Structure formats: structure tokens, C-alpha cells
């Protein structure tokens, strides 16, 4: 009740939730109390959570932040949310997001912008929460829920976690099932968790993860006790610092915070090692070819025939065109056009195929680095949260936000953002921990030493 009251008080300003499941949530909470009374409490019994509105929830509208799915009520539950429910979680609502998870600021949602609960010292300017999981991050930061699900295709959990001063983990590709998660770029998409601490993230991920035969890319790998790994410590670990991430123009505050985080790790017994990830500078262009290519293919299903919005048309083709013209926003259309272009005859070899080859080189950079280090620590973002209009008119400027995060998706590696301090204006900044494939345990231990 307290959390629903907080949502009622703050959501009109923050717009963190597209749908609030008030009565249904109270029923779920009462059922949860009853289970507890019978001594049947699950590991997340009664914990109020938010769910990014990209996860299908049976009987609850799932919009993907898009007008084209504005009236879509899934008849089934995603595997990740089903597992959270199995463990006793209570969902309070569906969190706002960039349309189809395309964005870094939550300015592309068809359901309005999300406001970051943080403000610069002495200023009232509205700041973006980051994206695409901006509603989830803002809801956790503003204490509307204790945790939330997110998805991360190129940084959409880690970047909003950093902008909102909370913790967010994107696990290894294949760790969480994508069944029932609206697809953006299937070879990059991963579900993950937001919470206020590394430990809470570990507990949530433990519930969300696991093999699912309904997702052909789900990994049949045992889920370790993530929460137990949190307090493992970092003594004797080798932490890599990639020299290519010391970008020209990286703010001195972020560079200083990065050094501070490394100093904490050194004090806790880790060894700091400089490493090289030589193909880093190709990561953003590679990502912005691969992701739109897959998106253009995935989004072909929104044709006005099978589900979602349908506009009237004179014939089938006209119906498709009118539906897609009316249903998709500008950023989604831009991605579909880029993706269709890079996949088209004559350009496929020059763009898509080449991007796939570079993706393999980026992955190899990490494989090489992990021969000598156990985890990699970098800033999560090149700046703190910005105001609408500051960074947002030029799509390429917006894409630059993802410069530190897209590499982990291209290589399929686990990555987490942990709050590491405030900038001179009082805004939170995050540090990113990247681990070996399926070694979230080390990521949690290193994150715990920084938070």
C-alpha cells in the first residue's frame, strides 16, 4: 500500500509507469500474505517490483512504449516475469521505456517522457532518466518499487542505472530467457535487473535467470547462488582498465571517479592492470548497424493484421503502410530504414557483413583480455544525466551515450553499473563492471567493492 501510495503521489510527475496495476497488485499482495501465513514464502515473497513494459504479462497491457501495441493484451506471461511471480514477487505496474527500447533518454516513448527524480544542485531543470529502461530506473530511484526488470540491448539497463544513481545488471547473453520479451535486436537483447544495491540485484537475477527451452538462445547453464557471491571479496582478482576507454574529451570528473573506484578495488586487495581492447572505436558503428538490421526484421511483424493497431486501408498493402506510418514513432522508423538499407542487396556486404566481422573482432578483444584479467572496470557513461534538448536533437549525439556499454552486448558479456559518486552538480555517476561470459559472480563481487 505504501508503494502504491508513492506511485500515486509521484507518477503524475515522473511518468515512470505506463500502467499501474493497483487493485490487481493488492490482490496479489493478499495472496502473498496468505502464502507467508502458511509458511510457503518464496525468496521474493511480497516484494513490490516494476516490470519494463517490454515483458509480456498475461492479461496486462504490454505496449513496448509504442502506439502500435497500445491496445495489446498478451495472453501469456514472459518466462522472466513468470519466474519472479513463482518466487512471490508482486508487480505494481508496467514501466515506461523508449519505444521498442530504442533510445538512451526515454524521450521516444509514445506514452510521454520519463523524468529523472534527481536534480542538479539548486536547479529545477527536468533531467532525462536515461534509456531505454528509464521508467524502471526512475521508479526504483524514487522508491516507488524495490526493484524492477529491464532489458539491455546496448546499455539500456546500465546507462539509466547510472543516470538514476542505482544498480543495474545485464547478465550474459542467454542467461535469462527472451521468451515473451518484445524483440528489438535478438542477438543483443538480454533481460536484467535494477535495484538499490548489488545484493538486491543478485537476488533478483537469481530468480529471473535459468534455461528455458522456449528460447532457442537460452543457455543451458546452471544458475549459481548469485547472492552468495556478493560478499566474496576481490582479494587477488586482476581488474583490467582498457586504455581505449580513456576517450579524448572524457570529463575530468568521470576520469577522477574512475580512478577513485580503482583505488577502492586496490585497497580491497585487487590488482589493477592496464589492458587493450583495440577494436573499441568500431563498437558504436558496428552496434548501430547490427541492432537496426535485426530490428527492421523483428518489427516486420507489426503489420496491423495479427495484433496491435490496425488502420483502415484500401487493400492489404495500403493497410500495412497506414498502420506502420501511424503506429511507429520517428526513432523506430529511422531504425527500420537504416536496418533495411544495410541489409539490402548491394549494401549487405559493405555494411552488415562487415559489421558482423568486426563484431567477432570485438569479441576476440575481450577473450584475449580475459586471459589476463578477471573483470574490467570502466565508466558507464561519458556524462551524467542531461536535460531534454541538451543532447537530444542530433541522433548521433544520442548514440554516443552508448559508447561504453554496447561492447558488452556485442560480445555477449555480463555488465553491471554501480553508483560510484556524484558530480559537481550533485548528479550520480556510475562505474561499469564487465565480466567473463557467465561469470556474473565476479561482477557482483567487484561491484560490491565499489558501491
Catalytic residue positions, numbered:
52, 132, 156
Task: Single out the residue of 49, 92, 102, 144 in contact with ligand GLN (rule: CB under 6 A).
Answer: 102
Per-residue binding letters, 396-415, with ligand GLN (x by CB under 6 A):
------x-------------
Burial of 247 per CB tally in 10 Å (0-12, 13-18, 19+):
middle
Q: What's the closest the beta carbon of residue 223 comes to ligand GLN, in angstroms? A: 23
CB atoms within 10 A of CB 243: 12
Task: Single out the residue of 11, 79, 136, 156 in contact with ligand GLN (rule: CB under 6 A).
Answer: 156
CA distance 11 to 19: 10
Q: What's the closest the beta carbon of residue 184 comes to ligand GLN, in angstroms? A: 6
Task: Report which of 410, 151, 164, 123 is spatially closest to residue 287, judged by C-alpha positions.
Answer: 410
The DSSP string of 287-324 is HHHHHHHHHHHHGGG-SSSSSS-----SSHHHHHHHHH
Nearer to ligand GLN, 392 or 425 (CB): 392
How is residue 295 written as a grid cell? 530490428
Nearer to ligand GLN, 46 or 130 (CB): 130
Binding window for ligand GLN (CB under 6 A); candidates: 76-84, 98-106, 352-360, 367-375: 98-106
Q: What's the closest the beta carbon of residue 185 comes to ligand GLN, in angstroms? A: 8
Task: Single out the residue of 101, 183, 283, 309 in contact with ligand GLN (rule: CB under 6 A).
Answer: 101
Rule CB under 6 A: is residue 65 a binding residue for ligand GLN?
no
∠ CA 18-23-28 to the nearest 5 degrees? 100
Nearer to ligand GLN, 184 or 245 (CB): 184
Q: What's the closest the beta carbon of residue 407 comes to ligand GLN, in angstroms? A: 12
> How many residues in the shown chain lie near ligand GLN by CB under 6 A?
13
How is residue 16 written as a grid cell? 515512470
Q: 276: which residues sit within 8 A by CB, 6+ positions away? A: 242, 243, 244, 365, 369
Task: Report which of 95, 52, 107 is spatially closest to residue 331, judged by C-alpha positions.
Answer: 107
Which single residue brings its beta carbon nearest to ligand GLN? 156
Rg (CA), the chain: 21
**Considering only residues 283-322, where is the footprint of ligand GLN by CB under 6 A?**
291
Rule CB under 6 A: is residue 83 a binding residue for ligand GLN?
no
Task: Single out the residue of 115, 152, 439, 441 in contact with ligand GLN (rule: CB under 6 A).
Answer: 152
CA distance 225 to 431: 24
**Considering only residues 202-231, where is the footprint of ligand GLN by CB under 6 A?**
none
Rule CB under 6 A: is residue 103 a binding residue for ligand GLN?
yes
Nearer to ligand GLN, 132 or 286 (CB): 132
Task: Single out the residue of 129, 134, 154, 261 in contact with ligand GLN (rule: CB under 6 A).
Answer: 154
Q: What's the closest the beta carbon of residue 105 comes to ligand GLN, in angstroms? A: 8
Rule CB under 6 A: is residue 130 a binding residue for ligand GLN?
no
CB 207, CB 80: distance < 8 Å? no
Per-residue binding letters, 171-200, with ligand GLN (x by CB under 6 A):
-------------x----------------
Q: What's the closest the beta carbon of residue 91 comes to ligand GLN, in angstroms? A: 21
The DSSP string of 192-261 is EEEESSHHHHHHHHHHHBS--TTSTT--------HHHHTTS--TT-EEEEEGGGS-TT--HHHHHHHHHH
How is residue 83 written as a grid cell? 519466474
Length of the chain: 451
Task: Single out the residue of 62, 63, 104, 177 in contact with ligand GLN (rule: CB under 6 A).
Answer: 104
Rule CB under 6 A: is residue 109 a binding residue for ligand GLN?
no
Binding window for ligand GLN (CB under 6 A); candidates: 68-76, 146-154, 210-218, 425-433: 146-154
Q: What's the closest the beta carbon of residue 412 comes to ligand GLN, in angstroms? A: 14
Task: Single out the residue of 132, 177, 218, 323 in contact with ligand GLN (rule: CB under 6 A).
Answer: 132
Strand order in the sheet with 271-275: 17-20, 90-95, 48-52, 147-152, 190-195, 167-170, 415-422, 428-435, 375-379, 238-242, 271-275
Binding window for ligand GLN (CB under 6 A); candidates: 16-24, 25-33, 101-109, 342-350: 101-109
CA distance 414 to 170: 6
Which residues contact ligand GLN by CB under 6 A?
A: 101-104, 132, 152-156, 184, 291, 402
Amino acid at each position: 500500500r505504501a508503494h502504491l501510495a508513492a506511485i500515486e503521489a509521484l507518477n503524475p510527475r515522473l511518468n515512470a509507469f505506463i500502467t499501474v496495476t493497483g487493485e490487481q497488485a493488492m490482490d496479489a499482495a493478499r495472496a502473498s500474505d496468505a502464502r507467508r501465513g502458511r509458511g510457503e514464502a518464496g525468496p521474493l515473497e511480497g516484494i513490490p517490483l516494476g516490470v519494463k513494459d517490454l515483458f509480456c504479462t498475461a492479461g496486462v497491457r504490454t505496449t513496448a512504449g509504442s502506439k502500435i501495441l497500445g491496445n495489446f493484451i498478451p495472453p501469456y506471461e514472459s518466462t522472466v516475469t513468470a519466474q519472479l511471480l513463482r518466487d512471490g514477487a508482486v508487480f505494481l505496474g508496467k514501466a515506461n521505456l523508449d519505444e521498442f527500447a530504442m533510445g538512451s533518454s526515454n524521450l521516444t516513448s509514445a506514452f510521454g517522457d520519463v523524468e529523472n527524480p534527481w536534480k542538479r544542485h539548486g536547479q529545477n531543470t527536468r533531467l532525462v532518466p536515461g534509456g531505454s529502461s528509464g521508467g524502471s530506473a526512475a521508479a526504483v530511484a524514487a522508491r516507488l518499487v524495490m526493484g524492477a526488470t529491464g532489458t539491455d540491448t546496448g546499455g539500456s539497463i546500465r546507462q539509466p542505472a547510472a543516470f538514476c544513481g542505482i544498480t543495474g545488471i545485464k547478465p550474459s547473453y542467454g542467461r535469462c530467457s527472451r521468451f515473451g520479451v518484445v524483440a528489438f535486436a535478438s542477438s543483443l537483447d538480454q533481460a536484467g535487473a535494477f535495484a538499490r544495491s548489488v545484493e538486491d540485484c543478485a537476488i533478483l537475477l537469481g530468480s529471473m535467470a535459468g534455461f528455458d527451452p522456449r528460447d532457442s538462445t537460452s543457455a543451458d547453464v546452471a544458475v549459481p547462488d548469485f547472492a552468495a557471491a556478493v560478499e566474496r571479496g576481490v582479494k587477488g582478482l586482476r581488474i583490467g582498465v582498457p586504455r581505449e576507454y580513456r576517450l579524448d574529451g572524457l570529463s575530468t570528473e568521470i576520469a577522477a571517479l574512475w580512478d577513485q573506484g580503482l583505488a577502492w578495488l586496490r585497497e580491497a586487495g585487487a590488482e589493477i592492470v592496464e589492458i587493450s581492447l583495440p577494436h573499441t572505436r568500431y563498437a558504436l558503428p558496428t552496434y548501430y548497424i547490427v541492432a537496426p538490421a535485426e530490428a527492421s526484421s523483428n518489427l516486420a511483424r507489426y503489420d496491423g493484421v495479427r495484433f496491435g493497431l490496425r488502420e483502415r486501408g484500401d487493400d492489404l498493402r495500403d493497410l500495412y503502410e497506414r498502420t506502420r506510418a501511424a503506429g511507429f514513432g520517428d526513432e523506430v522508423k529511422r531504425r527500420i530504414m537504416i536496418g533495411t538499407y544495410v541489409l539490402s542487396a548491394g549494401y549487405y556486404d559493405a555494411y552488415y557483413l562487415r559489421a558482423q566481422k568486426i563484431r567477432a573482432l570485438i569479441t576476440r578483444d575481450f577473450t584475449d583480455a580475459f586471459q589476463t584479467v578477471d573483470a574490467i572496470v570502466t565508466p558507464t557513461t561519458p556524462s551524467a544525466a542531461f536535460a531534454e534538448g541538451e543532447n537530444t536533437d542530433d541522433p548521433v549525439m544520442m548514440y554516443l551515450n552508448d559508447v561504453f556499454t554496447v561492447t558488452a552486448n556485442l560480445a555477449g558479456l555480463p555488465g553491471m553499473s554501480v553508483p560510484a559518486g556524484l558530480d559537481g552538480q550533485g548528479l550520480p555517476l556510475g562505474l561499469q563492471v564487465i565480466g567473463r561470459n557467465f561469470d556474473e559472480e565476479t561482477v557482483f563481487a567487484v561491484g560490491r567493492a565499489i558501491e
